Structure 1
Amino acid sequence: MTLTIKDIARYAGVSPATVSLSLKDDIRVAEKTREKVKKISKKFNYVPNNIGRALQSNKTSLAGYLLSTVTSSYFNELLQGAGNAAAENNYGLLVGITSSSSQFEKEQLQLFYEKRVDGIIASGYNRNVGARLSELNKMGIPVVICSGLSADKDIPHILVDNFKGGLMAAEHLIELGHETIAYGFSKNVNCGRYQGCCKAASEKGIRKPILFGDENGLTKLLKSKNRPTGIVAYSDAQAIKIKHIIENAGLSISDDISLIGFDDIWTISLPEYNFSSIAIPKMEIGRQAMEMLLDRINGKKIENRFIAPELIARGSTREVNRRS
């Protein structure tokens, strides 16, 4: 049998209101009475029903996190950071994992709505779900975009400063004497990371980094007269693939071509890779996303945030004159 606040009140010989105040440690109730109520509640394993409280305050102390996957070392660290911040603020976190399915995203958002979450964080979602996020935001359910740009000016976002990251990666190679640099895999000249590389090249007076979009493009580039001595990979996962392509071409990392990735996932620090990388503070981004959401829930105005990355230099990048 589940005990109610009225049952506890009867056992303690006080009113239900006094029980409620005692369990909140309200000083308006005598300490002796508070201790008596707590002792009885503990004896019967009483758990307060928060539904009524949520209806009164219009808050459930629940937040929703919509994200595409947790198998990636990127997204699971975002989730860990957000979860830590939620727990520290006595918030529960409902996680909707969608496997990049638009249908799953819509269903999870509907579930969040039905569960009356106080706010929503979204990462790695499909663009066509953006309209639903905007709709929920307008309905009074605050939304924060984590590790992506928001298409809605009324929804704030937080992500790494990709431009600065690209700038740092290219500057690192240039400082090591590299003057012919390539960037891939990407065909998007407006990519923030690529634009950062271009800025570094322009400031140092060398040619714009060569853009390659796929394996064939890189293979042709490695056979050309403009073979790069340094490559900036869009991500560490792509850097691993680039490594194999370079080695299949009879070349070696660092001796022939310096390679730097982006994300600093844990695998690239292993001896078989030992990649230099632009580290993204993923857990910190997740943490700040939750803190931004909680601030929005409490009525505060929040601005977009760009988090600075960090250069981690390892053995995959060397000075040009060390190349054989």
Structure 2
Amino acid sequence: MSTIKDIAKHAGVSVATVSYVLNNNRYVSPEKKERVLAAIRELNYAPNAAARGLRARESRTIGLIVSDISNPFYPDLAKGCEDEAQKHGYAVHMINTNDQPERMRQAAAQAREGKIDGLIVTSALEADRELLQSLRERGFPLVLAHRRLEGLDADLVESDNFEGGLMAARHMLRMGHRRIAFMSGVAGSPTSKLREEGYRQAMKEAGIDVPPEWTLSGEAKYTASYERMLGYADMPPDERPTAVINMSDVGAMGVLDAAADRGLRVPEDVAVMGFDDLFLAAFRSVRLTTVRIPRYELGRRATELLLERLSEASRDARHVVLPVELIVRGTCGGEQA
């Protein structure tokens, strides 16, 4: 059975152009329109009524999909999204998935039903690829933010995660550490993968082999990171890591508490670093060294791209990479003044 993507390929036009012809809701040049109609006839395409009406009306609402609303990472991103959307007369509907495929399917259903005009997805995992691809094939406006999916034809805004992992490990190396652990995040997260790749590159440059036990998952969460750190703390002193990089500041808090519960001094016995630079990282009682992720700008730029996509659906997908910054505080030593 032919799809709208097949029609676009056969006619040599974009999926969006096919959608315009089917819905008759935007101007398409006579030459392109005829190519699309010819392809429809040749492939015996029968457009689905629901798909035909997908973009027939506007709700002036965009969807923002996050993986865990309890994670302090997301409020700043959501504020950037909301501020930009309001400037253009749009409301934002937030959908929390907890990284559960069923919740992502519910969000896609809202898109198909016309309840939202476009989606910003911050929680994409490989398991979501087919679902998100089906939305793109229908010409539905979609922007990935924070997490990428390689090969998906969609706009993308992300921070420079590889560089973040690289600078985190290099800082630990500059501080004299050689046994440096990296606690990864959610299984299958492209963000976690890129940061770990940066870490591994820095370790390779330093001539250090990374044993499997140095790259356990803390799930970017407090409890899992706490438990992983207890395991490290119970290793013989001449074997345990002297430095731990966690995928998130929330996870790093678990590392700090586990170290304290095992009587380890920070940074003398173990140095600790996180990612994000959440507000709690700067507390005087914490002073967490971290890699700052531009969360507000992630949300703002993703919304900007989505609104552009709503008005210019046929343009090529854009990829925006935002810079990250190393923030040195007390948990690694060498605190900046």
Structure 2: which 5+ runs fail to align? 1-53, 218-227
Q: How does 1:61-140 map to 2 (within 5 A)?
A: 61-125=60-124, 127-140=126-139
Distance 1:150 1:171 in 2: 27
Partner in structure 2 of residue 155 of structure 1? 154
Paired amino acid for 2:202: A
Paired amino acid for 1:218: Y
Distance 1:118 1:283 in 2: 22
Partner in structure 2 of residue 308 of structure 1? 323
Partner in structure 2 of residue 265 of structure 1? 278
Instruction: Report if aligned partners of 2:153, 2:317 keep a CA contact under 8 Å in 1.
Output: no
User: How much identity, in percent, do the aligned residues show?
Assistant: 26
Instruction: Report if aligned partners of 1:260, 1:276 keep a CA contact under 8 Å in 2.
Output: yes
Task: Please give the secondary structure, in 2, of the residue aligned with 1:260.
Answer: strand
Per the TM alignment, residue 204 of structure 1 is displaced from its structure 2 partner at its CA by 3.5
Q: Which moved more, 1:291-300 or 1:80-89?
A: 291-300
Task: Please give the secondary structure, in 2, of the residue aligned with 1:191.
Answer: helix
Partner in structure 1 of residue 304 of structure 2? 291
Task: Please give the secondary structure, in 1, of the residue aligned with 2:71.
Answer: coil
Instruction: Report if aligned partners of 1:185, 1:238 keep a CA contact under 8 Å in 2.
Output: no
Distance 1:179 1:163 in 2: 20
Distance 2:162 2:332 in 1: 20
Between Structure 1 and Structure 2, whose CA radius of gyration is higher? 1
Per the TM alignment, residue 288 of structure 1 is displaced from its structure 2 partner at its CA by 0.9
Paired amino acid for 2:329: R
CA deviations on 1:167-224 (whole Å, 9 max, x unpaired) are 1111112222223322225698982222212222233444547334434542344x24
Instruction: Report if aligned partners of 1:295, 1:302 keep a CA contact under 8 Å in 2.
Output: no
Distance 1:148 1:185 in 2: 14
Task: Please give the secondary structure, in 1, of the residue aligned with 2:333.
Answer: coil
Partner in structure 1 of residue 26 of structure 2? none
Paired amino acid for 2:147: G
CA deviations on 1:233-276 (whole Å, 9 max, x unpaired) are 22111211111222222211112221111111111221221110
Task: Please give the secondary structure, in 2, of the residue aligned with 1:318.
Answer: coil
Greater than 6 Å deviation, 4+ residue runs: 186-190
* 2:197 aligned residue (170, 186, 195): 195
- How many residues matched? 265
Distance 2:197 2:67 in 1: 27
Per the TM alignment, residue 94 of structure 1 is displaced from its structure 2 partner at its CA by 2.6
Instruction: Report if aligned partners of 2:160, 2:322 keep a CA contact under 8 Å in 1.
Output: yes
Task: Please give the secondary structure, in 1, of the residue aligned with 2:274.
Answer: strand
* Shift in CA distance, 188/74, structure 1 to aligned 2, threshold 3 Å: closer
Q: How does 1:168-187 map to 2 (within 5 A)?
A: 168-184=167-183
Distance 2:186 2:93 in 1: 36
Paired amino acid for 2:322: I
Instruction: Report if aligned partners of 1:184, 1:212 keep a CA contact under 8 Å in 2.
Output: yes
Partner in structure 1 of residue 333 of structure 2? 318
Instruction: Report if aligned partners of 1:187, 1:211 keep a CA contact under 8 Å in 2.
Output: no
TM-score (norm 1): 0.72
Paired amino acid for 1:211: T
Q: Which moved more, 1:297-306 or 1:189-198?
A: 189-198
* Shift in CA distance, 276/180, structure 1 to aligned 2, threshold 3 Å: same
Task: Please give the secondary structure, in 2, of the residue aligned with 1:66.
Answer: strand
Instruction: Report if aligned partners of 1:165, 1:196 keep a CA contact under 8 Å in 2.
Output: yes
Is the counterpart of residue 243 in structure 1 residue 256 in structure 2? yes
Task: Please give the secondary structure, in 2, of the residue aligned with 1:144.
Answer: strand
Instruction: Report if aligned partners of 2:229, 2:259 keep a CA contact under 8 Å in 1.
Output: no
Task: Please give the secondary structure, in 2, of the residue aligned with 1:166.
Answer: helix
Partner in structure 2 of residue 44 of structure 1? none
Structure 1: which 5+ runs fail to align? 1-54, 320-324
TM-score (norm 2): 0.69
Partner in structure 1 of residue 18 of structure 2? none
Instruction: Report if aligned partners of 1:163, 1:196 keep a CA contact under 8 Å in 2.
Output: yes
Is the counterpart of residue 233 in structure 1 residue 235 in structure 2? no
Paired amino acid for 1:134: Q
CA deviations on 1:116-164 (whole Å, 9 max, x unpaired) are 5332111225654432322122112111111111255212322222211
Q: CA-atom RMSD, angstroms? A: 3.0
Partner in structure 1 of residue 233 of structure 2? 219
* Shift in CA distance, 62/226, structure 1 to aligned 2, threshold 3 Å: same
Instruction: Report if aligned partners of 2:247, 2:274 keep a CA contact under 8 Å in 1.
Output: yes
Instruction: Report if aligned partners of 2:184, 2:246 keep a CA contact under 8 Å in 1.
Output: yes
* Shift in CA distance, 194/133, structure 1 to aligned 2, threshold 3 Å: closer
Per the TM alignment, residue 287 of structure 1 is displaced from its structure 2 partner at its CA by 0.8
Distance 1:111 1:313 in 2: 43
Distance 1:276 1:303 in 2: 32
